[in-house]
C-alpha cells in the first residue's frame, strides 16, 4: 500500500483532495459569462482574505513575478527604495529593483534576526529630502523562519509622516497569520497561490492602495504583462488582457470557500498559531535549537539548527525514504546548518504528531540521543493548553 507523502517544505504545500478535484473540471471560455462570475467571486473573496477594500488583482505568476510587478508599476529609474533584507526572499526584491536601475538602501540583518521598527525609523528620519519612495519588507521570511512585526513598523512609518509607500511580501503569510492590509495601512501586499491558499504554483495576487495607484500613474519603468492599470481595466469587464490559468481559478474558488465560509479566516490564523507553537515546542523537547530570533518565530515555517554530528542529507533521506516526510534544507550560507519544517495551509494537529514523530525517529536513526515520545508529548501539551481542549 502506498503511504501518503507529507510535503513539509515551506511551499508549495499539501493540497486538499477537494481542491485537487476542483482543478480537474472541464475548461470554460475565459471570455464567457461563466468565467466572468468566477473572476468576480474570487476577487471579492480575496479582498476578505487580504482584509482590504483596495483593488486586488491577479496574475498568472509566481511570487517572484509579483515582486517584480510591484517594482515596475510603482517606480521609475533612479528612484530610491528601502529594503529589509533578512534572507534569500527578502533580498530578492532588492535584486529586482537594482536590475531596473533603482537605488536600494538595505537594512541588513543576520539571517534569523528580524528588522524592527526602530531600524526603519532611523533610516527614514535620516532621509530629510524624502527620496525614499517605498519601504519593502517581508511579512514572513522562510529562509530563517521569522515573521516581522509589520503592524508595528507600519504604525511607526505613519507616525514619522514620511511619504514612502509600504510594500509587503506576504507570499508565505497571507491566509495563515494575521495581516490587516487596511487597518495597518499597507499600500502593496503581494502573495501567491502555492502556500496559504493550498493551490499549485502559478497564480499571483496583489492589493493596491489609492496611494500606490498614484505612484503607478507617475512610474516610467516599462510594463506590459505586469501592468496593473491594464489588468484593472480588463477586470472591470471580468476579463484579462491575456489567457488566465482557468483551472487555478476553479481551485481558488474552492480554497476561498474553505478559508472564508467553512473555517473562517480568524480560525485559520489561530490554527496556524497552535500548530506553529506545537512544532517549535516539539523541537525544543527533543533538545533541538530554534534558529529564529526569540519572539519573531514564524507560524508557517520552523527553522531548526542541525544537531552536532548529524548531516542534513542523512536526516532528509531517512525522513523521505522511511517516513515519506519531505523537509526543507538551509539555503545558501545556511546549507547544511539548519533544516526547515513547513506547517502552512492544509495541516491539522494529528498530522503534527506524525511529522514530528517521524523527525524524532529519523534523528534517532541518524545517531541523535533523544527520549522517544518527547515530541508527541510536547505537541499534545501545547495543543491542549492553547485550545482549552483538555477532557477531565
Torsion sign (Cα): 34, 36, 42, 45: negative
Strand order in the sheet with 103-108: 55-61, 202-208, 188-192, 165-169, 132-138, 80-85, 103-108
What b-and-e string marks burial along 80-95, b requiring 16 or more CB atoms within 10 Å of the CB? Answer: bbbbbbbbbbbbbbbe
Q: Do 10 and 342 contact (CB within 8 A), yes or no?
A: yes
Q: Do 127 and 162 contact (CB within 8 A), yes or no?
A: yes
In order of their start, the domains of the chain are 17-261 (3.40.640.10), 264-387 (3.90.1150.10)
State the Cα–Cα distance between residues 145 and 291, nearest whole angstrom. Answer: 7
**159 exposure class (CB count in 10 Å sphere: 0-12, 13-18, 19+):** exposed
15-21 CB contacts, 8 Å cutoff, 24+ apart: 15/198, 15/199, 15/200, 15/346, 16/198, 16/258, 16/346, 18/254, 18/258, 19/198, 19/199, 19/251, 19/254, 19/255, 19/258
pLDDT in tens, the chain (392 residues): 678 899 999 999 999 999 999 999 999 999 999 999 999 999 999 999 999 999 999 999 999 999 999 999 999 999 999 999 999 999 999 999 999 999 999 999 999 999 999 999 999 999 999 999 999 999 999 999 999 999 999 999 999 999 999 999 999 999 999 999 999 999 999 999 999 999 999 999 999 999 999 999 999 999 999 999 999 999 999 899 999 999 999 999 999 999 999 999 999 999 999 999 999 999 999 999 999 999 999 999 999 999 999 999 999 999 999 999 999 999 999 999 999 999 999 999 999 999 999 999 999 999 999 999 999 999 999 999 999 754 44
State the Cα–Cα distance between residues 118 and 91, nearest whole angstrom. Answer: 20
DSSP annotation of 297: B
Which residue in 379, 343, 365 sits closest to 176, CA to CA? 343
State the Cα–Cα distance between residues 109 and 104, nearest whole angstrom. Answer: 15
According to DSSP, the residues that pair with 83 across neighbouring strands are: 106, 136
State the Cα–Cα distance between residues 101 and 368, nearest whole angstrom. Answer: 50
Query: Given 3-state DSSP classes, what are the helix, strand and coil percentages for the chain, each rounded to the nearest 5?
Result: 45, 15, 40
State the Cα–Cα distance between residues 217 and 224, nearest whole angstrom. Answer: 14
Amino acid at each position: 500500500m502506498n503511504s501518503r507523502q507529507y510535503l513539509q517544505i515551506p511551499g508549495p504545500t499539501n493540497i486538499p483532495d477537494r481542491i485537487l478535484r476542483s482543478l480537474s473540471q472541464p475548461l470554460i471560455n475565459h471570455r464567457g459569462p461563466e468565467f466572468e462570475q468566477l473572476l468576480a467571486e474570487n476577487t471579492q473573496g480575496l479582498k476578505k482574505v487580504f482584509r482590504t477594500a483596495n483593488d486586488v488583482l491577479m496574475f498568472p505568476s509566481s511570487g517572484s513575478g509579483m515582486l517584480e510587478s510591484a517594482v515596475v508599476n510603482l517606480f521609475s529609474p533612479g528612484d530610491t527604495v528601502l529594503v529589509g533584507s533578512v534572507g534569500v526572499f527578502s533580498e530578492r526584491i532588492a535584486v529586482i529593483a537594482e536590475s531596473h536601475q533603482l537605488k536600494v538602501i538595505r537594512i541588513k540583518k543576520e539571517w534569523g534576526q528580524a528588522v524592527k521598527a526602530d531600524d526603519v525609523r532611523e533610516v527614514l528620519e535620516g532621509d530629510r529630502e524624502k527620496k525614499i519612495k517605498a519601504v519593502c519588507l517581508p511579512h514572513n521570511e522562510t529562509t530563517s523562519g521569522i515573521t516581522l512585526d509589520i503592524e508595528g513598523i507600519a504604525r511607526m512609518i505613519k507616525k514619522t509622516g514620511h511619504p514612502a509607500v509600504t510594500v509587503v511580501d506576504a507570499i508565505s503569510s497571507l491566509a495563515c497569520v494575521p495581516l490587516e492590509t487596511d487597518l495597518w495601512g499597507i499600500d502593496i501586499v503581494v502573495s501567491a497561490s502555492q502556500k496559504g491558499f493550498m493551490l499549485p504554483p502559478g497564480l499571483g495576487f496583489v492589493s493596491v492602495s489609492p496611494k500606490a495607484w498614484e505612484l503607478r500613474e507617475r512610474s516610467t519603468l516599462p510594463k506590459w504583462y505586469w501592468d496593473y492599470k491594464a489588468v484593472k481595466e480588463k477586470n472591470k469587464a471580468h476579463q484579462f488582457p491575456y489567457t488566465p490559468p482557468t483551472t487555478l481559478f476553479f481551485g481558488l474558488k474552492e480554497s476561498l470557500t474553505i478559508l472564508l465560509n467553512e473555517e473562517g479566516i480568524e480560525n485559520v490564523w489561530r490554527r496556524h498559531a497552535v500548530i506553529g507553537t506545537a512544532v517549535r515546542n516539539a523541537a525544543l523537547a527533543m533538545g533541538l535549537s530554534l534558529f529564529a530570533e526569540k519572539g519573531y518565530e514564524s507560524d508557517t515555517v520552523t527553522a531548526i539548527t542541525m544537531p552536532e554530528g548529524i548531516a542534513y542529507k542523512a536526516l532528509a533521506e531517512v525522513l523521505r525514504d522511511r517516513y515519506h516526510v519531505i523537509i526543507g534544507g538551509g539555503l545558501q550560507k545556511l546549507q547544511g546548518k539548519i533544516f526547515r519544517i513547513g506547517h502552512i495551509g492544509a495541516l491539522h494537529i494529528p498530522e503534527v504528531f506524525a511529522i514530528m514523530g517521524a523527525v524524532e525517529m529519523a534523528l534517532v536513526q541518524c545517531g541523535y540521543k533523544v527520549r522517544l515520545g518527547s515530541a508527541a508529548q510536547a505537541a499534545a501539551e501545547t495543543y491542549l493548553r492553547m485550545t482549552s481542549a483538555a477532557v477531565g
